[in-house]
Structure 1
Amino acid sequence: MEDRIRKILTDCGRLSVPTQGLGAQDNLYEVGLSSLATVNVMLAVEEAFDVEFPDNLLTRRSFESISSLASVVNGLKPPALTS
């Protein structure tokens, strides 16, 4: 999942540094993520992972790092069905 999020950030985040050089906890806003880019990242994440961000998760904290984004996506995905 982290690799897919890095790809989305590379394509949509307009960051000032390559995503491969970022740690999972690094603050994305400190490396150039803007509010406009956040919207683009959100839309791309929703499409890539087939999830929808509810209003209560449209916060700076949700998009602050690769780790926080992955955590939000994991929380939005329905639990896997077991046979």
Structure 2
Amino acid sequence: MEETTTAALEPAVREILLPLLGPSTDPAGIGPDTDLWQAGLDSLGSVSLMAGLEDTFGIEFPDALLTKDTFSTVGRIVAALDGLVRS
């Protein structure tokens, strides 16, 4: 995969994430620190999100990052991805 900058990660995460939150979610209301679980993300959605990110970025989340905390905000997802796509 081409080198991906941190700035490019957030839009890609949002593109995969927002459809999983449902049509009633206002995309403008989902900021980097918004609690995604309160915004409507559930365990099935988090698995779909993880799979979509792995496919998009050609990475695999290690077991240590498969936590509710990792997928709790866009900012935390971007931070996890940043470490994975650069390694």
Structure 2 length normalisation: TM-score?
0.81
Q: Which of 69, 72, 82 is the aligned partner of 1:64?
A: 72
Amino acid across the alignment from 1:41: L
Matches of 1:41 and 1:15 in 2, distance apart?
A: 16
1:2 alignment partner in structure 2: 10
Q: Which runs of 5+ in 1 are unaligned?
A: none
Percent sequence identity over aligned pairs: 33
Structure 1 length normalisation: TM-score?
0.84
Higher relative contact order (CA 8 A, sep 6+): 2
Shift >4 Å, 4+ stretches: none
1:24 alignment partner in structure 2: 32
Measured after TM superposition, the shift of residue 16 of structure 1 is: 4.7
Measured after TM superposition, the shift of residue 50 of structure 1 is: 1.2
Q: CA, structure 1 residues 29+37, in 2 after alignment: closer, same or farther (shift >3 Å)?
A: same
2:48 is the counterpart of 1:40: yes
Count of aligned pairs between the two proteins:
79
1:74 alignment partner in structure 2: 82
Amino acid across the alignment from 1:53: F
- Calculate the aligned-residue CA RMSD, in Å: 1.6
